[in-house]
Amino acid sequence: MPARFPPRAPDPATAGIGLRTPHFEALAARTPPLSFLEVHSENYFAEGGPALAWLERFRADYAVSLHGVGLSLGSADPLDPRHLDRLAALAGRIEPALVSEHLCWSSIGGTHLGELLPLPYTEEALAHVCRRVTEVQERLRRPILVENVSAYVRFVSSTIPEGEFVAEVARRTGCGVLFDVNNAWVNAANHGTDPRAILDALEPASVGEIHLAGYEATRDGLVDTHGARVFPEVWALYEETLARLGQVPTLVEWDNDIPPLDVLLGEATLANAILASAGARSRAAA
Amino acid sequence: MTGTGALARLQAAFASAVTGGDEAAVAAQLAGDPALARRRLAIYREAIGANRRGALRSAYPVVARLVGEAFFDEAARRLADSAPPACADLNRYGDGFPAFLTTYPHAGQMPWLADVARLEWAWHEALSAADAPGIDFAALAAVPAEEEPALRFSLHPSVRLVSSAWPVLAIWEANQPERDGAPDRDEGADDVLLWREDGRVRMALLDPLDAAFVAAIGRGIPLEEAAGSEGWNFAPMLARLAEHGLLAGFAGPPSGG
Protein backbone atom coordinates (compact mmCIF):
# COMPACT_ATOMS: atom_id res chain seq x y z
CA MET A 1 0.00 0.00 0.00
CA PRO A 2 1.40 3.44 -0.86
CA ALA A 3 2.11 5.73 2.09
CA ARG A 4 -0.70 8.14 2.91
CA PHE A 5 1.28 10.34 5.25
CA PRO A 6 4.68 12.05 5.13
CA PRO A 7 7.23 9.81 6.85
CA ARG A 8 7.99 11.35 10.23
CA ALA A 9 10.35 10.20 12.94
CA PRO A 10 10.49 11.51 16.50
CA ASP A 11 13.09 14.23 16.95
CA PRO A 12 15.33 12.89 19.72
CA ALA A 13 16.15 16.45 20.81
CA THR A 14 12.59 17.37 21.81
CA ALA A 15 9.96 15.62 23.89
CA GLY A 16 6.53 14.41 22.86
CA ILE A 17 3.29 14.09 24.79
CA GLY A 18 0.52 11.55 25.17
CA LEU A 19 -2.48 12.52 23.04
CA ARG A 20 -5.70 12.63 25.06
CA THR A 21 -9.24 13.56 23.95
CA PRO A 22 -9.58 16.73 26.09
CA HIS A 23 -6.62 18.24 24.21
CA PHE A 24 -7.73 17.53 20.63
CA GLU A 25 -9.16 20.99 19.96
CA ALA A 26 -6.35 22.97 21.60
CA LEU A 27 -3.63 20.88 19.99
CA ALA A 28 -5.17 21.16 16.53
CA ALA A 29 -5.56 24.92 16.90
CA ARG A 30 -2.00 25.51 18.11
CA THR A 31 0.11 22.69 16.62
CA PRO A 32 2.94 23.26 19.14
CA PRO A 33 6.38 21.89 18.26
CA LEU A 34 6.49 18.33 19.66
CA SER A 35 8.73 15.44 18.82
CA PHE A 36 5.77 13.06 18.53
CA LEU A 37 2.33 12.20 19.85
CA GLU A 38 1.65 8.89 21.52
CA VAL A 39 -1.74 7.22 21.80
CA HIS A 40 -3.00 4.10 23.49
CA SER A 41 -3.54 1.87 20.47
CA GLU A 42 -6.73 0.31 21.87
CA ASN A 43 -8.43 3.73 22.04
CA TYR A 44 -8.36 3.73 18.23
CA PHE A 45 -9.50 0.18 17.58
CA ALA A 46 -12.93 1.37 16.38
CA GLU A 47 -13.70 0.82 12.70
CA GLY A 48 -14.45 4.49 12.13
CA GLY A 49 -15.75 7.64 13.73
CA PRO A 50 -14.37 10.90 15.10
CA ALA A 51 -11.49 9.57 17.26
CA LEU A 52 -9.79 7.95 14.26
CA ALA A 53 -10.47 11.03 12.14
CA TRP A 54 -8.72 13.18 14.77
CA LEU A 55 -5.74 10.83 14.90
CA GLU A 56 -5.36 10.92 11.11
CA ARG A 57 -5.49 14.68 11.23
CA PHE A 58 -2.74 14.81 13.88
CA ARG A 59 -0.70 12.25 11.96
CA ALA A 60 -0.43 14.74 9.08
CA ASP A 61 1.47 17.12 11.41
CA TYR A 62 3.29 14.81 13.82
CA ALA A 63 5.08 11.50 14.12
CA VAL A 64 2.79 9.12 16.00
CA SER A 65 3.67 6.36 18.44
CA LEU A 66 1.17 3.52 18.98
CA HIS A 67 1.47 2.41 22.58
CA GLY A 68 -0.46 -0.74 23.43
CA VAL A 69 -1.91 -1.45 26.84
CA GLY A 70 -3.90 -4.61 26.14
CA LEU A 71 -2.01 -7.08 23.97
CA SER A 72 -1.02 -9.04 27.08
CA LEU A 73 2.43 -10.08 25.86
CA GLY A 74 3.08 -12.11 28.98
CA SER A 75 -0.20 -13.96 29.26
CA ALA A 76 -0.19 -17.76 29.25
CA ASP A 77 -3.20 -17.51 26.88
CA PRO A 78 -2.57 -17.48 23.15
CA LEU A 79 -2.28 -13.97 21.68
CA ASP A 80 -5.74 -12.66 20.78
CA PRO A 81 -5.83 -12.76 16.95
CA ARG A 82 -8.56 -10.09 16.77
CA HIS A 83 -6.39 -7.77 18.84
CA LEU A 84 -3.40 -8.35 16.59
CA ASP A 85 -5.57 -7.79 13.51
CA ARG A 86 -6.87 -4.50 14.87
CA LEU A 87 -3.38 -3.37 15.81
CA ALA A 88 -2.06 -4.28 12.36
CA ALA A 89 -4.97 -2.43 10.72
CA LEU A 90 -4.35 0.66 12.85
CA ALA A 91 -0.63 0.58 12.07
CA GLY A 92 -1.47 0.30 8.37
CA ARG A 93 -3.78 3.28 8.63
CA ILE A 94 -1.63 5.60 10.78
CA GLU A 95 1.90 4.63 9.65
CA PRO A 96 3.36 5.10 13.14
CA ALA A 97 7.01 5.90 13.81
CA LEU A 98 7.00 3.67 16.90
CA VAL A 99 4.93 0.72 18.14
CA SER A 100 5.28 -0.38 21.74
CA GLU A 101 3.77 -2.69 24.35
CA HIS A 102 4.36 -3.59 28.00
CA LEU A 103 6.29 -6.48 29.51
CA CYS A 104 3.30 -7.63 31.48
CA TRP A 105 0.10 -9.62 31.21
CA SER A 106 -3.52 -8.46 31.39
CA SER A 107 -5.73 -11.35 30.37
CA ILE A 108 -6.16 -14.99 31.23
CA GLY A 109 -8.76 -17.61 30.40
CA GLY A 110 -10.40 -15.26 27.88
CA THR A 111 -11.05 -12.57 30.51
CA HIS A 112 -9.40 -9.18 30.22
CA LEU A 113 -8.41 -7.51 33.46
CA GLY A 114 -7.45 -4.21 31.85
CA GLU A 115 -4.40 -3.62 34.06
CA LEU A 116 -0.68 -4.03 33.44
CA LEU A 117 -0.03 -7.01 35.70
CA PRO A 118 3.44 -8.11 36.76
CA LEU A 119 5.19 -11.20 35.46
CA PRO A 120 7.26 -13.63 37.47
CA TYR A 121 10.79 -13.20 36.14
CA THR A 122 11.44 -16.86 35.39
CA GLU A 123 13.05 -18.71 32.48
CA GLU A 124 9.59 -20.01 31.53
CA ALA A 125 8.11 -16.49 31.39
CA LEU A 126 11.15 -15.17 29.52
CA ALA A 127 10.96 -17.83 26.80
CA HIS A 128 7.18 -17.35 26.55
CA VAL A 129 7.37 -13.55 26.24
CA CYS A 130 10.14 -13.82 23.63
CA ARG A 131 8.04 -16.16 21.46
CA ARG A 132 5.17 -13.70 21.61
CA VAL A 133 7.25 -10.60 20.91
CA THR A 134 8.56 -12.44 17.85
CA GLU A 135 5.01 -13.35 16.82
CA VAL A 136 3.91 -9.72 17.08
CA GLN A 137 6.94 -8.42 15.20
CA GLU A 138 6.36 -10.93 12.40
CA ARG A 139 2.70 -9.96 12.19
CA LEU A 140 3.43 -6.22 12.12
CA ARG A 141 6.57 -6.68 10.02
CA ARG A 142 8.50 -4.27 12.21
CA PRO A 143 10.37 -4.29 15.49
CA ILE A 144 8.43 -3.15 18.53
CA LEU A 145 9.55 -1.58 21.79
CA VAL A 146 8.78 -3.28 25.10
CA GLU A 147 8.32 -1.29 28.29
CA ASN A 148 9.32 -2.08 31.88
CA VAL A 149 6.15 -1.79 34.01
CA SER A 150 5.50 -0.71 37.56
CA ALA A 151 4.80 -3.70 39.77
CA TYR A 152 3.30 -3.41 43.23
CA VAL A 153 4.00 -7.04 44.07
CA ARG A 154 6.86 -9.41 43.32
CA PHE A 155 6.83 -13.17 43.13
CA VAL A 156 8.88 -15.65 45.12
CA SER A 157 9.39 -17.67 41.92
CA SER A 158 11.30 -14.84 40.19
CA THR A 159 14.91 -15.83 39.55
CA ILE A 160 15.98 -13.16 37.03
CA PRO A 161 16.49 -9.50 37.97
CA GLU A 162 13.99 -7.29 36.15
CA GLY A 163 16.65 -5.41 34.18
CA GLU A 164 18.20 -8.63 32.90
CA PHE A 165 14.76 -9.93 31.95
CA VAL A 166 14.01 -6.81 29.89
CA ALA A 167 17.48 -6.77 28.33
CA GLU A 168 17.26 -10.46 27.46
CA VAL A 169 13.90 -10.02 25.70
CA ALA A 170 15.51 -7.33 23.54
CA ARG A 171 18.60 -9.46 22.91
CA ARG A 172 16.67 -12.58 21.91
CA THR A 173 13.94 -10.95 19.79
CA GLY A 174 15.65 -7.88 18.34
CA CYS A 175 12.96 -5.65 19.81
CA GLY A 176 13.82 -2.31 21.38
CA VAL A 177 13.20 -1.11 24.91
CA LEU A 178 10.89 1.65 26.04
CA PHE A 179 12.52 2.63 29.32
CA ASP A 180 9.95 4.09 31.70
CA VAL A 181 11.93 6.12 34.20
CA ASN A 182 8.95 6.63 36.49
CA ASN A 183 8.25 2.89 36.61
CA ALA A 184 11.87 2.21 37.49
CA TRP A 185 11.60 4.74 40.30
CA VAL A 186 8.25 3.41 41.55
CA ASN A 187 9.50 -0.18 41.66
CA ALA A 188 12.72 0.77 43.39
CA ALA A 189 10.80 2.72 46.04
CA ASN A 190 8.21 -0.02 46.52
CA HIS A 191 10.64 -2.91 46.74
CA GLY A 192 13.72 -1.24 48.16
CA THR A 193 15.86 -1.87 45.09
CA ASP A 194 18.24 0.32 43.09
CA PRO A 195 16.39 2.45 40.49
CA ARG A 196 19.51 2.31 38.27
CA ALA A 197 19.57 -1.48 38.13
CA ILE A 198 17.43 -1.74 34.98
CA LEU A 199 19.52 0.90 33.27
CA ASP A 200 22.70 -0.95 34.24
CA ALA A 201 21.40 -4.08 32.55
CA LEU A 202 20.19 -2.52 29.29
CA GLU A 203 22.18 -2.33 26.08
CA PRO A 204 22.24 1.49 25.55
CA ALA A 205 21.54 1.12 21.82
CA SER A 206 18.41 -0.96 22.51
CA VAL A 207 16.57 1.93 24.19
CA GLY A 208 14.30 3.48 21.56
CA GLU A 209 12.06 5.60 23.76
CA ILE A 210 11.78 6.97 27.29
CA HIS A 211 8.61 7.58 29.31
CA LEU A 212 8.14 10.13 32.05
CA ALA A 213 5.06 10.42 34.25
CA GLY A 214 3.85 11.22 37.73
CA TYR A 215 2.97 8.79 40.50
CA GLU A 216 0.91 9.00 43.67
CA ALA A 217 2.35 8.26 47.10
CA THR A 218 0.00 6.12 49.24
CA ARG A 219 0.44 4.40 52.60
CA ASP A 220 1.03 1.14 50.71
CA GLY A 221 3.67 2.56 48.40
CA LEU A 222 3.96 4.54 45.18
CA VAL A 223 1.19 4.03 42.63
CA ASP A 224 1.90 4.72 38.96
CA THR A 225 -1.16 6.89 38.28
CA HIS A 226 0.01 9.00 35.31
CA GLY A 227 -2.03 11.69 37.01
CA ALA A 228 0.57 14.18 38.27
CA ARG A 229 3.66 16.15 37.27
CA VAL A 230 6.94 14.29 36.98
CA PHE A 231 8.56 14.18 40.44
CA PRO A 232 12.01 15.79 41.07
CA GLU A 233 13.68 12.45 41.83
CA VAL A 234 12.35 11.07 38.53
CA TRP A 235 13.70 14.10 36.68
CA ALA A 236 17.07 13.41 38.33
CA LEU A 237 16.96 9.76 37.25
CA TYR A 238 16.01 10.88 33.73
CA GLU A 239 19.03 13.19 33.66
CA GLU A 240 21.23 10.31 34.71
CA THR A 241 19.61 8.10 32.08
CA LEU A 242 20.38 10.57 29.29
CA ALA A 243 23.90 11.03 30.59
CA ARG A 244 24.39 7.34 29.86
CA LEU A 245 22.31 6.96 26.70
CA GLY A 246 22.52 10.34 25.01
CA GLN A 247 19.34 11.81 23.51
CA VAL A 248 16.43 9.36 23.27
CA PRO A 249 12.89 10.22 22.07
CA THR A 250 11.07 11.10 25.29
CA LEU A 251 7.39 11.14 26.10
CA VAL A 252 5.51 12.81 28.94
CA GLU A 253 2.44 10.72 29.82
CA TRP A 254 -0.60 12.04 31.65
CA ASP A 255 -3.65 9.77 31.54
CA ASN A 256 -5.73 10.57 34.63
CA ASP A 257 -6.95 13.91 36.04
CA ILE A 258 -5.82 15.32 32.72
CA PRO A 259 -4.67 18.96 33.13
CA PRO A 260 -4.88 21.79 30.57
CA LEU A 261 -2.62 21.27 27.57
CA ASP A 262 -0.22 23.98 28.78
CA VAL A 263 0.65 21.98 31.90
CA LEU A 264 1.62 19.02 29.74
CA LEU A 265 3.57 21.24 27.34
CA GLY A 266 5.35 22.72 30.37
CA GLU A 267 6.49 19.23 31.40
CA ALA A 268 7.68 18.61 27.83
CA THR A 269 9.66 21.88 27.99
CA LEU A 270 11.39 20.68 31.17
CA ALA A 271 12.32 17.45 29.38
CA ASN A 272 13.59 19.48 26.41
CA ALA A 273 16.08 21.30 28.64
CA ILE A 274 17.50 18.00 29.90
CA LEU A 275 17.57 16.60 26.34
CA ALA A 276 19.45 19.74 25.21
CA SER A 277 22.17 19.33 27.82
CA ALA A 278 22.50 15.64 26.95
CA GLY A 279 22.89 16.65 23.30
CA ALA A 280 25.55 19.26 24.20
CA ARG A 281 27.46 16.66 26.24
CA SER A 282 27.40 14.16 23.35
CA ARG A 283 28.68 16.79 20.95
CA ALA A 284 31.44 17.81 23.36
CA ALA A 285 32.46 14.18 23.72
CA ALA A 286 32.46 13.57 19.96
CA MET B 1 -6.40 -22.57 25.55
CA THR B 2 -4.49 -21.52 28.60
CA GLY B 3 -1.25 -23.40 29.20
CA THR B 4 -0.65 -25.67 32.15
CA GLY B 5 2.77 -24.44 33.31
CA ALA B 6 3.69 -22.45 36.39
CA LEU B 7 3.02 -19.17 34.56
CA ALA B 8 -0.54 -20.20 33.68
CA ARG B 9 -1.23 -21.36 37.24
CA LEU B 10 0.13 -18.16 38.74
CA GLN B 11 -1.91 -15.99 36.38
CA ALA B 12 -5.12 -17.91 37.04
CA ALA B 13 -4.63 -17.57 40.80
CA PHE B 14 -3.74 -13.88 40.46
CA ALA B 15 -6.77 -13.17 38.27
CA SER B 16 -9.07 -14.86 40.74
CA ALA B 17 -7.62 -12.88 43.64
CA VAL B 18 -7.99 -9.48 41.94
CA THR B 19 -11.56 -10.07 40.77
CA GLY B 20 -13.06 -10.88 44.13
CA GLY B 21 -12.02 -14.51 44.48
CA ASP B 22 -9.79 -16.25 46.97
CA GLU B 23 -6.43 -14.60 47.69
CA ALA B 24 -4.73 -17.46 49.48
CA ALA B 25 -3.38 -19.20 46.38
CA VAL B 26 -1.61 -16.14 45.06
CA ALA B 27 -0.67 -14.69 48.46
CA ALA B 28 1.63 -17.68 49.03
CA GLN B 29 3.54 -16.71 45.89
CA LEU B 30 4.09 -13.05 46.75
CA ALA B 31 7.50 -11.93 47.98
CA GLY B 32 8.06 -9.58 50.89
CA ASP B 33 5.93 -8.68 53.90
CA PRO B 34 2.68 -10.69 53.53
CA ALA B 35 0.37 -8.02 54.94
CA LEU B 36 1.84 -5.33 52.69
CA ALA B 37 1.76 -7.66 49.68
CA ARG B 38 -1.96 -8.25 50.23
CA ARG B 39 -2.64 -4.54 50.44
CA ARG B 40 -0.64 -4.06 47.24
CA LEU B 41 -2.77 -6.77 45.61
CA ALA B 42 -5.76 -4.64 46.56
CA ILE B 43 -4.34 -1.78 44.45
CA TYR B 44 -4.82 -4.01 41.42
CA ARG B 45 -8.26 -5.19 42.55
CA GLU B 46 -9.49 -1.63 43.00
CA ALA B 47 -8.02 -0.46 39.70
CA ILE B 48 -9.64 -3.33 37.79
CA GLY B 49 -13.03 -2.63 39.35
CA ALA B 50 -12.68 1.11 38.67
CA ASN B 51 -11.71 0.53 35.02
CA ARG B 52 -14.73 -1.66 34.41
CA ARG B 53 -17.12 0.70 36.20
CA GLY B 54 -15.61 3.61 34.33
CA ALA B 55 -15.99 1.94 30.94
CA LEU B 56 -19.62 1.10 31.68
CA ARG B 57 -20.33 4.58 33.03
CA SER B 58 -18.91 6.25 29.94
CA ALA B 59 -21.13 4.10 27.68
CA TYR B 60 -24.23 4.50 29.88
CA PRO B 61 -24.20 8.03 31.36
CA VAL B 62 -28.01 8.36 31.33
CA VAL B 63 -28.59 5.04 33.09
CA ALA B 64 -25.93 6.07 35.62
CA ARG B 65 -27.74 9.34 36.29
CA LEU B 66 -31.16 7.66 36.52
CA VAL B 67 -30.12 5.08 39.10
CA GLY B 68 -27.48 6.98 41.08
CA GLU B 69 -23.93 6.03 41.92
CA ALA B 70 -24.43 3.24 44.47
CA PHE B 71 -26.96 1.36 42.33
CA PHE B 72 -24.86 1.77 39.20
CA ASP B 73 -21.62 0.63 40.85
CA GLU B 74 -23.30 -2.47 42.28
CA ALA B 75 -24.90 -3.31 38.92
CA ALA B 76 -21.51 -2.79 37.25
CA ARG B 77 -19.86 -5.13 39.74
CA ARG B 78 -22.45 -7.86 39.15
CA LEU B 79 -22.22 -7.50 35.39
CA ALA B 80 -18.41 -7.79 35.59
CA ASP B 81 -18.78 -10.92 37.74
CA SER B 82 -21.21 -12.59 35.35
CA ALA B 83 -19.81 -11.31 32.04
CA PRO B 84 -16.27 -9.89 32.45
CA PRO B 85 -14.61 -8.09 29.53
CA ALA B 86 -13.69 -10.55 26.76
CA CYS B 87 -11.60 -8.07 24.84
CA ALA B 88 -8.81 -5.62 25.73
CA ASP B 89 -10.66 -2.71 24.16
CA LEU B 90 -12.91 -1.54 27.00
CA ASN B 91 -14.89 0.57 24.51
CA ARG B 92 -16.46 -2.71 23.45
CA TYR B 93 -17.30 -3.73 27.00
CA GLY B 94 -20.89 -3.43 28.19
CA ASP B 95 -22.94 -4.69 25.26
CA GLY B 96 -24.63 -7.13 27.64
CA PHE B 97 -25.72 -4.42 30.08
CA PRO B 98 -29.25 -3.84 28.64
CA ALA B 99 -30.04 -7.57 28.81
CA PHE B 100 -28.56 -7.71 32.31
CA LEU B 101 -30.88 -4.87 33.41
CA THR B 102 -33.99 -6.66 32.09
CA THR B 103 -33.43 -9.40 34.65
CA TYR B 104 -31.83 -7.34 37.43
CA PRO B 105 -34.37 -7.41 40.27
CA HIS B 106 -33.40 -3.96 41.59
CA ALA B 107 -34.30 -2.41 38.23
CA GLY B 108 -37.88 -3.76 38.48
CA GLN B 109 -39.28 -0.39 39.53
CA MET B 110 -37.86 1.21 36.39
CA PRO B 111 -39.17 -0.98 33.55
CA TRP B 112 -37.87 1.52 30.96
CA LEU B 113 -34.29 1.31 32.24
CA ALA B 114 -33.17 -1.55 29.98
CA ASP B 115 -34.60 0.25 26.93
CA VAL B 116 -32.76 3.45 27.86
CA ALA B 117 -29.63 1.30 28.09
CA ARG B 118 -30.34 -0.14 24.62
CA LEU B 119 -30.61 3.41 23.28
CA GLU B 120 -27.30 4.36 24.91
CA TRP B 121 -25.52 1.30 23.53
CA ALA B 122 -26.87 2.09 20.05
CA TRP B 123 -25.50 5.63 20.49
CA HIS B 124 -22.15 4.23 21.63
CA GLU B 125 -21.96 1.87 18.64
CA ALA B 126 -23.01 4.56 16.19
CA LEU B 127 -20.12 6.78 17.34
CA SER B 128 -17.42 4.26 16.45
CA ALA B 129 -19.03 2.36 13.56
CA ALA B 130 -17.11 2.13 10.29
CA ASP B 131 -16.95 5.14 7.99
CA ALA B 132 -18.54 4.87 4.56
CA PRO B 133 -18.66 7.17 1.56
CA GLY B 134 -22.12 8.54 0.78
CA ILE B 135 -24.38 7.20 -1.93
CA ASP B 136 -23.57 8.05 -5.54
CA PHE B 137 -26.42 10.44 -6.28
CA ALA B 138 -25.51 10.82 -9.97
CA ALA B 139 -25.72 7.06 -10.47
CA LEU B 140 -28.98 6.94 -8.52
CA ALA B 141 -30.50 9.69 -10.65
CA ALA B 142 -29.60 7.69 -13.76
CA VAL B 143 -31.69 4.69 -12.69
CA PRO B 144 -34.69 4.34 -15.08
CA ALA B 145 -38.01 5.04 -13.36
CA GLU B 146 -39.32 1.54 -14.01
CA GLU B 147 -36.41 0.03 -12.08
CA GLU B 148 -36.87 2.19 -8.99
CA PRO B 149 -39.34 -0.09 -7.17
CA ALA B 150 -36.76 -2.90 -7.22
CA LEU B 151 -33.86 -0.84 -5.82
CA ARG B 152 -32.23 -2.13 -2.68
CA PHE B 153 -30.41 0.36 -0.47
CA SER B 154 -27.73 -0.18 2.09
CA LEU B 155 -27.57 1.99 5.19
CA HIS B 156 -24.53 3.72 6.64
CA PRO B 157 -22.79 1.41 9.14
CA SER B 158 -23.61 3.82 11.98
CA VAL B 159 -27.40 3.58 11.53
CA ARG B 160 -29.30 2.04 14.45
CA LEU B 161 -33.03 1.81 15.16
CA VAL B 162 -34.24 1.41 18.73
CA SER B 163 -37.91 0.73 19.41
CA SER B 164 -39.37 0.85 22.88
CA ALA B 165 -42.80 0.86 24.53
CA TRP B 166 -41.47 3.72 26.68
CA PRO B 167 -40.62 7.35 25.85
CA VAL B 168 -36.91 6.53 25.84
CA LEU B 169 -35.82 9.46 23.69
CA ALA B 170 -37.58 11.93 25.99
CA ILE B 171 -35.96 10.27 29.01
CA TRP B 172 -32.55 10.35 27.31
CA GLU B 173 -32.90 14.03 26.39
CA ALA B 174 -34.09 15.00 29.87
CA ASN B 175 -31.01 13.38 31.40
CA GLN B 176 -28.39 15.20 29.41
CA PRO B 177 -26.04 17.28 31.59
CA GLU B 178 -27.78 20.60 30.96
CA ARG B 179 -31.30 19.26 31.71
CA ASP B 180 -33.10 18.74 35.03
CA GLY B 181 -34.15 15.14 34.40
CA ALA B 182 -37.88 15.81 33.81
CA PRO B 183 -38.94 14.32 30.42
CA ASP B 184 -41.07 16.44 28.06
CA ARG B 185 -43.33 13.46 27.42
CA ASP B 186 -44.37 10.65 29.72
CA GLU B 187 -45.75 8.33 27.08
CA GLY B 188 -44.11 6.27 24.31
CA ALA B 189 -43.84 4.22 22.33
CA ASP B 190 -40.64 5.57 20.78
CA ASP B 191 -38.99 4.51 17.55
CA VAL B 192 -35.61 6.21 17.59
CA LEU B 193 -33.32 6.42 14.59
CA LEU B 194 -29.63 6.98 15.34
CA TRP B 195 -26.83 7.78 12.94
CA ARG B 196 -23.49 9.56 12.81
CA GLU B 197 -23.23 12.74 10.82
CA ASP B 198 -20.19 15.07 10.73
CA GLY B 199 -18.57 13.06 13.50
CA ARG B 200 -21.53 13.36 15.89
CA VAL B 201 -24.29 10.93 16.76
CA ARG B 202 -27.74 12.25 15.93
CA MET B 203 -31.13 10.90 16.91
CA ALA B 204 -34.63 11.39 15.55
CA LEU B 205 -38.04 10.15 16.63
CA LEU B 206 -39.78 8.38 13.75
CA ASP B 207 -43.44 7.57 13.29
CA PRO B 208 -44.10 3.83 13.16
CA LEU B 209 -44.48 3.60 9.35
CA ASP B 210 -41.20 5.46 8.80
CA ALA B 211 -39.49 3.21 11.31
CA ALA B 212 -40.80 0.06 9.63
CA PHE B 213 -39.63 1.40 6.26
CA VAL B 214 -36.11 2.15 7.53
CA ALA B 215 -35.91 -1.25 9.21
CA ALA B 216 -36.99 -2.96 5.96
CA ILE B 217 -34.47 -0.99 3.88
CA GLY B 218 -31.80 -1.96 6.39
CA ARG B 219 -32.63 -5.62 5.79
CA GLY B 220 -32.05 -5.15 2.05
CA ILE B 221 -35.70 -5.38 1.06
CA PRO B 222 -36.51 -3.74 -2.32
CA LEU B 223 -37.96 -0.24 -2.18
CA GLU B 224 -41.54 -1.02 -3.22
CA GLU B 225 -41.84 -3.91 -0.78
CA ALA B 226 -40.17 -1.89 2.01
CA ALA B 227 -42.76 0.86 1.55
CA GLY B 228 -45.38 -1.63 2.70
CA SER B 229 -48.89 -0.29 3.12
CA GLU B 230 -50.87 0.73 0.07
CA GLY B 231 -50.76 4.39 -0.73
CA TRP B 232 -48.08 5.27 1.86
CA ASN B 233 -45.62 7.71 0.39
CA PHE B 234 -42.08 6.66 1.22
CA ALA B 235 -40.47 9.50 -0.72
CA PRO B 236 -40.12 12.02 2.17
CA MET B 237 -38.46 9.46 4.43
CA LEU B 238 -36.15 8.27 1.66
CA ALA B 239 -35.21 11.88 0.91
CA ARG B 240 -34.51 12.45 4.60
CA LEU B 241 -32.23 9.40 4.75
CA ALA B 242 -30.39 10.60 1.66
CA GLU B 243 -30.03 14.18 2.90
CA HIS B 244 -28.40 13.15 6.19
CA GLY B 245 -26.07 10.59 4.67
CA LEU B 246 -27.82 7.48 5.98
CA LEU B 247 -27.82 5.80 2.59
CA ALA B 248 -24.48 4.22 1.80
CA GLY B 249 -25.24 2.59 -1.52
CA PHE B 250 -27.80 0.91 -3.74
CA ALA B 251 -28.16 -2.02 -6.06
CA GLY B 252 -30.59 -2.34 -8.91
CA PRO B 253 -32.60 -5.37 -9.94
CA PRO B 254 -30.43 -8.29 -11.08
CA SER B 255 -31.35 -7.82 -14.76
CA GLY B 256 -30.94 -4.04 -14.76
CA GLY B 257 -27.41 -4.16 -13.21
The model's pLDDT over B19-34, given as tens digits with 9 standing for 90+, comes to 988 899 899 999 999 9
The model's pLDDT over B228-240, given as tens digits with 9 standing for 90+, comes to 877 788 999 999 9
Q: How distant is the Cα of A174 from the closest Cα of chain B, in angstroms?
A: 23
Judge whether residue A200 has pLDDT over 80: yes
Q: What is the reported pLDDT for B231?
A: 77
Q: What is the reported pLDDT for A283?
A: 86
Q: Is this prediction's ipTM beyond 0.90?
A: yes
Average pLDDT, integer, range A234-243: 97
Closest residue of A to B8, CA-based?
A: A76
Q: What is the reported pLDDT for B6?
A: 96
Spatial CB neighbours of B203, under 8 Å, sequence gap ≥ 6: B123, B169, B172, B192, B193, B194
Could you tell me if B30 lies within 8 Å of chain A, comparing CB atoms? yes
Judge whether residue B3 has pLDDT over 60: no
Q: What is the reported pLDDT for B257?
A: 39
Per the structure, the complete domain to which residue A126 belongs is given by 58-215+237-248
The model's pLDDT over A108-162, given as tens digits with 9 standing for 90+, comes to 988 999 999 999 999 999 999 999 999 999 999 999 999 999 999 999 999 999 9
The model's pLDDT over B52-92, given as tens digits with 9 standing for 90+, comes to 999 999 999 999 999 999 999 999 999 999 999 999 999 99
Neighbours of B49 (CB within 10 A): 17
Cβ–Cβ gap A80/B88 under 8 Å:
yes
Closest residue of B to A222, CA-based?
A: B40
CATH number at residue A86: 3.20.20.150
| Pair A100, A74: CB distance under 8 Å | no
What phi and psi values does residue A208 have, to the nearest 5 degrees?
-105, -10
Q: Per the structure, how many domains does chain A have?
A: 1
Judge whether residue B202 has pLDDT over 60: yes
Judge whether residue A2 has pLDDT over 90: no
Cβ–Cβ gap B8/A76 under 8 Å:
yes
Q: What is chain A's mean pLDDT, rounded?
A: 96
Question: Domain map of chain B by residue range?
Answer: 1-110, 112-257
Judge whether residue A38 has pLDDT over 80: yes
Of A109, A119, A155, the CB nearest to B30: A155
What whole-number distance in Å separates Cα of residue B17 and Cα of residue A58?
41
Judge whether residue A36 has pLDDT over 50: yes
Measured between beta carbons, the chain B residues lying within 8 angstroms of A50 are 127, 199-200
Alpha helix stretches (DSSP H) within B129-254: 137-141, 168-174, 208-218, 223-227, 235-243
What whole-number distance in Å separates Cα of residue B7 and Cα of residue B28?
15
Q: Is B207 exposed, middle or buried (0-12, 13-18, 19+ CB in 10 A)?
A: exposed
| Pair A128, A74: CB distance under 8 Å | yes
The model's pLDDT over B110-148, given as tens digits with 9 standing for 90+, comes to 999 999 999 999 999 999 999 998 899 999 999 999 999
In a domain, A88, yes or no: yes
Spatial CB neighbours of A89, under 8 Å, sequence gap ≥ 6: none
What whole-number distance in Å separates Cα of residue A18 and Cα of residue A226?
10
In a domain, A182, yes or no: yes
Q: What is the reported pLDDT for A218?
A: 95
Nearest in space to A72 (alpha carbons), one of A38, A101, A43: A101
Q: A32-46, A104-118, A270-284, B220-234: which range is least confident on average?
A: B220-234
